[in-house]
Amino acid sequence: AQKVTQAQTEISVVEKEDVTLDCVYETRDTTYYLFWYKQPPSGELVFLIRRNSFDEQNEISGRYSWNFQKSTSSFNFTITASQVVDSAVYFCALSSGGGADGLTFGKGTHLIIQP
Amino acid sequence: KAGVTQTPRYLIKTRGQQVTLSCSPISGHRSVSWYQQTPGQGLQFLFEYFSETQRNKGNFPGRFSGRQFSNSRSEMNVSTLELGDSALYLCASSNNVGLAGNTGELFFGEGSRLTVL
């Protein structure tokens, strides 16, 4: 069985602060994929990043960065210099078993950026 | 390029009724997946269709069914509605599919919000 845990239910920070969203996953497969999605109030999930289990390189995209550590089964997401537009619910997700079980999502972290 | 379109966006039904939700994927995408989102259970995988065939199914009762047409459009149906079926139903399409399932980026629609009274 696979599982994704996002322990932070809600985080509130003031604009321009850096914020890290935690994600811990469990899977018995050696080949798997990790994702982050953003869900604004409109409802659709917006893809942010996909990582496969063989690529532990950290990634940076503008103000966003991701830290993948297999040793701790974590795939954390950091927003640098947060902005009000970053306010949303963020989901970490896992796909293993060749995708046969769909995506397993964490419960999500509601990020509130206060002006 | 048009995104994933889901209709209707909102609907209200009563217990025992049935409902059909529609999803038009991004042009060229052959895989369509459905997810249920509730406050209690979060996001859960319902099923995935590829080339008009249900390829994978999540842990939901048989009241939940779906189909995919030759143009990749998909519908899902829930029969004998229960109060617990109230949820946001999200459809996602992809053009990145593996042999067993979808391991790539999913493009989601805005969802159909179902309320069962």
Quick: pLDDT tens for A38-67. 999 888 999 999 999 998 888 889 999 999
Q: Do A103 and B98 touch (CB under 8 A)?
A: no
Cβ proximity of A83 and A31 under 8 Å: no
B88 touches chain A (CB under 8 A): yes
Helix/strand/coil (H/E/C) assignment for every residue in B15-72:
CCCCEEEEEECCCCCCEEEEEEEECCCEEEEEEEEECCEEEEECCCCCCEEEEECCCC
Please answer yes or no on whether A102 and B109 come within 8 Å at the CB atom. no
Nearest to B100 among A37, A50, A100 (CB): A100
For the stretch B87-98, pLDDT in tens is 999 999 998 766
pLDDT in tens, A79-90: 999 999 999 999
Asked if omega into B8 is within 30° of 0 (cis), the reply is: yes
Q: How confident is the model at residue B99 (pLDDT cuts 50, 70, 90)?
A: low
End-to-end CA distance of chain B: 37
Chosen from A2, A3, A101 to mutate, greatest number of chain B CBs within 10 A? A101
Per-residue pLDDT, B75: 98
- Asked if residue A110 has pLDDT above 80, the reply is yes
Q: In chain A, at which residue ranges do the beta strands (DSSP E only) sit?
A: 3-5, 10-14, 19-21, 24-26, 32-39, 46-52, 59-61, 64-69, 74-79, 88-96, 104-105, 109-114
Q: What is the pLDDT of residue A51?
A: 93
pLDDT on residue B65: 97
> Which chain A residues are within 8 Å of B104, Cβ to Cβ?
33, 50
Where does the pLDDT of residue A104 fall: very low under 50, low under 70, confident under 90, or very high at 90 and above?
very high
State the pLDDT at residue A91.
98
Cα separation of A61 and A91, whole Å? 17
Does B66 touch chain A if contact means CB atoms closer than 8 Å?
no
Distance from CA of residue A12 to its chain's centroid?
17
Q: Does position B103 have pLDDT exceeding 80, yes or no?
A: no
Give B3's contacts in chain A (Cβ within 8 Å): 44
CB burial class (10 A; 0-12, 13-18, 19+) of residue A48?
A: middle
Give pLDDT, residue A57.
85
Q: CB A43 to CB B42 under 8 A?
A: no
Return the higher-pLDDT residue of B101 and A17.
A17
Distances (CA, A) of B45 to A83, B33, B64, B69: 31, 8, 12, 20
> Is B113 in contact with A105 (Cβ distance < 8 A)?
no
